[in-house]
Structure formats: structure tokens, C-alpha cells
Amino acid sequence: MSTIKFGTDGWRAVIARDFTFANCRLVAQGIAGYVNSVGLAKRGIVIGYDNRFMSGDFARECARVLLGNGIKVYLMSRPTPTPVTAFAIQVKETGGAIMITASHNPPEYNGIKFIPEYAGPALPDVTDAIEQEIQHVIDTGKVYELSIEEATKFDLFEELNVDKEYQAQLLKMTNPEAFKNHPLRIVVDPMFGAGIGYLDKILSQLGCEVFAINNYRDALFGGLLPEPTDANLADLKRAVGTYKANVGLALDGDADRFGIIDNQGNFISANRFMALLLEHLLLTRQFRGPVARTIATTHMLDRIARKNGLATIETPVGFKYIGQCLREKGCMLGGEESGGLSILGHVPEKDGILACLLAAEMLAWSGKTFEELQAELTEKYGDMVSRRMDVKVSSGEKAAILARLEEYRPKSLAGIPVEASDNLEGLRLILENGSWVLIRPSGTEPVFRIYVETGKDECLTAIQKEVLQGLGISA
């Protein structure tokens, strides 16, 4: 067995190779040890699971271990999105939740993540403690179990469904009145995942004409990654054209990330959408607060915030830090370029369902297309284009490129002087005109992620080319 590493996204592994019932029991026992050690066991734990192969069985296996440790279990009664599982923590006031999911990973993977009592991603102090507990379990081999049947007799087990409460929460977070004057035609694509039956149902209640695709369980996700990126949403693009829809809305495998296709079949990046959403919130909401974004996310948020007298908080990569800002700093919006966001008043966990509803609300409230809204935003704040490039290299090449990255300090890129640099998350170069580059090596794969943001597409392409040449990477 390979070492079980338990990070913010929990432990993920290939089913049957490492993700086995035996290893699930080890992880569940480690989580039980942590929950008991911090005095949260008496509040109980929610367990949710997605649509992956045998996720429900793995969830029940974890339940038996928690029950064996005297911890009450609230097991979701059907496959449930991660944000709904997080919301269930607040509904039942539990000590946290276990979510069985590998999110947008390939179908052969599954995973276990722990969501603490604050209903947002676990911070390093929590995951480090859980990892230590798991290692203790591995060393001692002690795992305690109790059957669900026995636990029910002692009122330690309860099946849970919070769909009604969650839908009511989303209606509080959105503006139902916006849809009355401009009902929309919308295609919803849950990508065969746990978001099936959520977004389409709420949009229908709001008066939209909804067409759902890929809305049945397929543990192989139609042969694609259940990740709502431009490359994976061909079905949704076709459906938007076929149904002459105003918008196409997609969710990833556990519905915590979103993807958007406009009425012309174009992919709207998370960076573009979050800038539009911030402007929409400023126009339609009374609440105000800082804006939180990761270091890899668009600085257009900074520009909009600054013009409206708001602060911007930059965090390391990872929604755990965005969630912390939402909880502790009262941020009105927090987001990351990979498609995760939440807003003030909601759970501090990324929620693709909420993001999609806000996208629909924006179109209905304005009566405009994304293209028209983008043109207005550009006229008001100027334009910024951003793109992430993931470059795969061989394992041997990675070491050599990392060595070159240590020394790489160009004086200019695409003719624009480099003003500053830092090593907070890989190498970041900040250019004189506000453009920026971030080069992040993957910690687990021979992959380099290169983020560029600047004013025009031609400049972005030129910067990408110079960075690749400077590091000796063939794209």
C-alpha cells in the first residue's frame, strides 16, 4: 500500500488498487480519531457521496467506522453534491462531514475528503492532524466498527436529505424576481455527476425553460473527465445551438465547480465570469466586503474592486484559503480561476450550482447576452485577457526545467519591462503595465502550469512563447 496523503481535497486513489474498503476504514478511523480529539464527536458527522463507482458502498463503510467510535452518522440518502453536503453541516450543526468523491478526476479514481464544522475546505492544521491520526491507525492496526443496524437501535444513525433546505438557501442567495421579465432557455449539463436534479429543478421553478443533458448516472462519465472545461463541453455547446438556448450551464462530478457556454456556443472562462459577477453583485446587492482571489486568478477583480472602494485579498492557490477569507474577512465574493466560487452569506465552500444560478440571474436581470455584458465591462474598466497553459514534460525534463526556473529572471517579456517577481507559488513575474505571469510546477506530475494575463490576445501569445523559450520547454 502506498502512503495515504490527506490534503485539502482529502485522499484520492485508483479504485481497487489503493482505494479499497480496507484503506477506507483506515482513513475513516483517522478522521474519527481527529473528531474525538477536538471534542466534536458528540455533534455527529454527515457523510455524503457522489455518483462514482461504489461511492455509496464506500460511504457506508466509513459510516460503520464512525459508528464504532461512538460518533453519530447522518448519511445522505442519495448521491449528493459536495456543497450540499457542506450545507448539511450547518443544517444539523454537526462536527463536520465526510464526502466520498474524487471530484473532477478520471473515473477510475475515488476519494475521501473531510469538511470541518465551519462547512468549508479543511485548512492545513486540520488535514495535518488527520494525516497524523491515519498514520497512527496504520501503525497500530486498530479500527473500530459498528453495524448500521446496531447503531440505529441506539439512535446513532440517521439518513438525511437536505435538498429542500438547500434549495431554499439558493433562492435566498439569488433574486427570483429577475427571472419574471426575462425567462430563459437554458441547457444544463451535470456531466453524469452528483449535481443531477439540482440546477435543472431550481431553474424550472424560477420559470426557465430547461433542457438537461448527461443527466443520468454514468460512473465512466461518458468517457470524459467530469470537469467543465472548454475541451470537455462539446455536448453542451451542441445542445445550446440545437435548443437555441440563452446559456449552457455545466457542473463537475461533485458539482462544486462550474462551466458556462454562451448563446453563441463560446466557453466563458471562470476569470471572465467572476469579473462579470462582481459587477452584477455591485449593481444588485446591498452587501459589501473585500474580494478574495487566489494568486492565479484574474486581476480584473482588483480593478473592479478598487474602482468601487473595495479591498482585494490575494491568497495562495486553493479554495481553502478563499473559504477562510469568506468566513473571517466578510468577503462579498471569493473565487479561483479553476471554477470555484462562493459569495457572502453562503457556505464557505465552492458551489457550482450557486455559480450557475447567478450566471442565469445575471442574464435574466440585464436582458443582455454575455457578449453585451462583457462589452459594457470592458468599456467601464478596460480589458484583460487571461489564459492558463498546462505543459506536460517527461520526468527527466522536469528536473532540468525546475533548475532553469530557479535562475529565470527575464528583464522584459513581449517588450514590456518586468517590474517585480516573487516565489510565493512557483515564479510570478509582474510587468510594468500590470500584466503578469505565474509559472507553477505540479507537485505530483511532470506538468508546468503557466498563467498569463495581459491586455490583448496577441500580447498574451507572445508572452507565452517567450516564457516557454526561456525555460526550454517545447509546447
The predicted-structure confidence for 120-149, as pLDDT tens digits, reads as follows 999 999 999 999 999 999 999 999 999 999
pLDDT tens digits, residue range 329-345?
Answer: 999 999 999 999 999 99
pLDDT tens digits, residue range 209-232?
Answer: 999 999 999 999 999 999 999 999
Place of cell 464512525: 66
Length of the chain: 475
Q: How confident is the model at residue 4 (pLDDT cuts 50, 70, 90)?
A: confident
Mean pLDDT value of segment 54-63: 98
Whether pLDDT at 445 is above 80: no
CATH class of the 166-381 domain in this structure: alpha beta
Place of cell 450545507: 87
CA distance 34 to 256: 25
CA distance 242 to 222: 20
- pTM for the whole thing? 0.95
What is the DSSP secondary structure assignment for residue 230, as one 8-state letter?
A: G
Q: Which fold is adopted by the domain 385-471?
A: TATA-Binding Protein (3.30.310)
What is the DSSP secondary structure assignment for residue 269, as one 8-state letter?
A: -
Report yes or no: 63 and 72 within 8 Å, Cβ to Cβ: no
239, three cell numbers: 445542445
Q: 227-247 burial by CB neighbour count: b if 16+ within 10 A, else e?
A: bbbeebbebbbebbeebebbb
CA distance 419 to 311: 22
Say what the pLDDT of residue 448 is: 92
Mean pLDDT value of segment 70-80: 98
Count Cβ atoms below 10 Å from residue 458 Cβ, excluding itself.
Answer: 11
Place of cell 438557501: 169
State the CATH architecture for 11-161: 3-Layer(aba) Sandwich (3.40)
Mean pLDDT of the chain: 95
Pairing of strands 385-392, 447-454: antiparallel
Whether pLDDT at 298 is above 60: yes
Closest CA to 292 of 263, 258, 315, 318: 315
Asked whether this chain's domains 166-381 and 385-471 adopt the same fold, the reply is no
Q: Where are the alpha helices (DSSP H) in 207-265?
A: 234-242
Place of cell 498563467: 451
Closest CA to 268 of 374, 185, 357, 391: 374
Mean pLDDT value of segment 288-305: 97
DSSP 205-245: HTT-EEEE-S-S--TTGGGS-S---GGG-HHHHHHHHHTT-
Count Cβ atoms below 10 Å from residue 286 Cβ, excluding itself.
Answer: 4
Q: How confident is the model at residue 442 (pLDDT cuts 50, 70, 90)?
A: confident
Q: How confident is the model at residue 394 (pLDDT cuts 50, 70, 90)?
A: confident
375, three cell numbers: 462589452
Report residue 463: phi and psi, to 5°: -65, -45
CA distance 75 to 85: 10
Say what the pLDDT of residue 40 is: 96
Could you tell me which residues come within 8 angstroms of residue 132 by beta carbon, excluding any fewer than 6 positions away?
Answer: none
Mean pLDDT value of segment 434-460: 91
- Helices 55-68 and 21-37 meet at what angle, rounded to 10? 40
Residue 301 three-state SS:
helix
Where do the structural domains in the chain lie, given as residue ranges?
11-161, 166-381, 385-471
Mean pLDDT value of segment 74-97: 98
Q: What is the CA radius of gyration of the chain?
A: 22
Could you tell me which residues come within 8 angstroms of residue 113 by beta carbon, excluding any fewer than 6 positions away?
Answer: 8, 9, 10, 11, 82, 98, 99, 101, 122
Instruction: Report the amino acid identity of residue 295.
Output: I
Whether pLDDT at 325 is above 90: yes
CA distance 259 to 4: 31
Please measure the distance between the N-terminal and C-terminal CA atoms of the chain and give it in whole angstroms. 35
Report yes or no: 134 and 153 within 8 Å, Cβ to Cβ: no
- Helices 270-284 and 352-366 meet at what angle, rounded to 10? 60
Mean pLDDT value of segment 2-14: 83
What is the DSSP secondary structure assignment for residue 395, as one 8-state letter?
A: H
Which residues on adjacent β-strands are paired with residue 387?
A: 452
